[in-house]
Amino acid sequence: MKYVGMQTQIRRNNTKSVLLLLMFPAIILGMTWVFLALLNFFGNGYYDEYGDVAHQLNLETVNYYFLTSLPWVVGGVAVWFLIAYFMNAKMIQRSTGAYPITRKENPRIYNIVENLCMTCGMDMPKINIVDDSQLNAFASGINKDSYTVTVTTGLMAKLDDRELSGVIGHELTHIRNHDTRLLITSIIFVGIISTVMSLVVRMLYHSFYYGGGRSRGSNGKDNGLSVIVVLFIGLICCAIAYFFTLVTRFAISRKREYMADAGGAELCGDPLALASALKKISKEPGLDGVKRADIAQLFIIQPDEMASGILGFMNSLFSTHPDTEKRIAVLEQF
């Protein structure tokens, strides 16, 4: 694997962060236009000269309603993004059940993190613990005030100091490379799409259960589309948007994990220690109680439970994590 310097990787990730901020809104706005276009197309049904039902797309009308809804869509996404962006630490902490510790409460883990930070000349992040007998760890945060390294109690109990140093070094490298900021940006936007899609599914279910009436325009006339059809079109658009957000997240190169492995091995000075730690973690990865596949993208190894269900399958298919065995093989080459 071609060597890439730390500053080069940071610049690349900063560039990707900007591109993500542009790509995700573009996907949302694009699907909003497609949704309005489909409503217009199927809602403008008429009988042709042969008595068959035909449809016609009125681009002028579609563009008018799109421009009318644009401020509301942009404003809603912007508010959602800002709230989630600055509340991400609490969101992740609540989802994982993590809590902070001090040097007095756990001098072992605190000293390992501190020594590694001194080695690479970075500020000390916060340290969180999750009461989980299995093994896992992750880094999170968007700036110096929120950077956090989280480990499970099982990880501390079952790894020796060498292996634990390798894992902590891996997570610190994510912070140094600004990987956490990049992933949290993607988590928020994917979360927006998945939440809207879940709401549409629920509304569609209730419409089927209670019966869907005809939707009417502002003039009170029947526009030819039932509520169920409108929701079904919305579901299709949400599914397409969700697919493209996953593809965009997948564009966050899997080399990110290899870079973090290399950085962790360099910090602890023992690539085989990190390889050994990954072997142990892969056998019993913890944090499987976290049902949010987007947050699981932060974990050093994603639990198998995350692969269940359609959304779980999609997240697994477009996971930003490479195969663990390949990561171990790379480390063992050093």
pLDDT in tens, 159-180: 999 999 999 999 999 999 888 8
Q: Which of 246, 93, 86 is nearest to 181 (CA)?
A: 86
pTM: 0.75
Task: Confirm if 55 and 44 have CB atoms less than 8 A apart.
Answer: yes
Q: Which residues pair with 46 in a beta bridge?
A: 54
- Is the pLDDT at 306 greater than 50? The verdict is no
State the residue for tokens 């940071």.
Answer: 10
- Cα-based distances in Å from 247 to 33, 112, 314, 315: 20, 36, 10, 10
Residue 211 tokens read as: 């019966």
CB atoms under 10 Å from CB of 310, counted, come to 8
- Binning pLDDT at 50, 70 and 90, where does residue 31 land? confident
18-42: average pLDDT: 82
- Cα-based distances in Å from 51 to 46, 47, 48, 126: 9, 5, 5, 70
Give the active site residue among 60, 114, 163, 171.
Answer: 171
Residue 247: what are its φ and ψ, rounded to 5°? Answer: -65, -40
- Is the pLDDT at 228 greater than 90? The verdict is no
**To 10 degrees, the CA torsion angle through 85, 311, 317, 11?**
-10
Residue 119: what are its φ and ψ, rounded to 5°? Answer: -65, -40
CB atoms under 10 Å from CB of 118, counted, come to 10
Sign of CA dihedral 92, 96, 102, 107: negative
Q: Which of 150-157's residues contact partners 24+ apart within 8 Å by CB, and which partners? A: 150/96, 150/98, 151/109, 151/127, 152/286, 152/287, 153/129, 154/284, 154/286, 155/281, 155/286, 156/106, 156/108, 156/109, 156/129, 157/133
Sign of CA dihedral 46, 47, 52, 54: negative
260-299 per-residue burial string, b: 16 or more CB within 10 A, e: under 16: bbbbbbbbbebbebbbbbbebbbeebbbbebebbbbbbbb
Instruction: Indicate the angle between helix axes 161-176 and 255-268, nearest 10 degrees.
Output: 130
The tally of CA atoms less than 13 A away on the side-chain side of residue 189 is: 27
Q: What is the pLDDT of residue 225?
A: 55
Q: What integer best gives the mean pLDDT of the chain?
A: 80
The tally of CA atoms less than 13 A away on the side-chain side of residue 246 is: 18
Name the percent of the chain lying above pLDDT 90: 25
Q: What is the pLDDT of residue 171?
A: 95
116-142: average pLDDT: 93
Better-predicted residue by pLDDT, 90 or 191: 90
Q: How far apart are CA 315 and CA 319, in angstroms?
A: 6
Question: Is 257 a known active-site residue?
Answer: no
The tally of CA atoms less than 13 A away on the side-chain side of residue 303 is: 22
Residue 312: what are its φ and ψ, rounded to 5°? Answer: -65, -40
77-84: average pLDDT: 83
Most confident of 42-51, 107-116, 225-234, 263-272: 107-116
- Is the pLDDT at 253 greater than 70? The verdict is no
Q: What is the pLDDT of residue 4?
A: 53
- The counts of H helices and E strands in the chain are 13, 8
- Binning pLDDT at 50, 70 and 90, where does residue 151 land? very high
- Is the pLDDT at 87 greater than 50? The verdict is yes
Name the percent of the chain lying above pLDDT 70: 78
